[in-house]
Amino acid sequence: DVKVTQSSRYLVKRTGEKVFLECVQDMDHENMFWYRQDPGLGLRLIYFSYDVKMKEKGDIPEGYSVSREKKERFSLILESASTNQTSMYLCASSLAADTQYFGPGTRLTVL
């Protein structure tokens, strides 16, 4: 079974803080993705990576950066958290262009 884990289920941060969200997958997948889910907007792609040290912007990259130093780990960084980044953050991985498998999500609240 594919397993995608995310470092925290719930996180509360203050405006201006630097926030790290970690994602680890155990299936040797090349591709990894970060999404945010907001009511009425579905899942929107923030960044994705198709190989170690490679990254591409998704549809809403502003205010975020990512890091992929190892194949199994993909980190999302909020350089200076803002209240409009309060959301559910979902990580996913896939083998090439195959089905994406999602982690349980991190509910981030920025006060």
Partner 1 sequence: DQQVKQNSPSLSVQEGRISILNCDYTNSMFDYFLWYKKYPAEGPTFLISISSIKDKNEDGRFTVFLNKSAKHLSLHIVPSQPGDSAVYFCAASALKSSNTGKLIFGQGTTLQVKP
9 binds partner 1 (CB under 8 A): yes
100 binds partner 1 (CB under 8 A): yes
The phi-psi region of residue 47 (left if phi > 0; otherwise alpha if psi is between -120 and 50; otherwise beta) is beta
Residues 6 or more apart from 29 whose CB is under 8 A from it?
2, 71, 93, 94, 95, 101
Do 106 and 11 meet the contact criterion of CB atoms below 8 Å apart?
Answer: yes
| Interactions with partner 1, residue window 12-71 (CB under 8 A) | 31, 33, 35, 40-45, 48, 50, 56, 58
Min separation Cβ 17 and partner 1, Å: 23
Longest dimension (CA), the chain: 38
Residue closer to partner 1 (CB basis): 17 or 22? 22
Contacting partner 1 (CB under 8 A), which of 19, 64, 75, 103? 103
- Strands 56-57, 4-6: pairing kind: unpaired
Min separation Cβ 103 and partner 1, Å: 5
Site residues (vs partner 1, CB under 8 A): 4, 9, 31, 33, 35, 40-45, 48, 50, 56, 58, 90, 92, 94, 96-105, 107
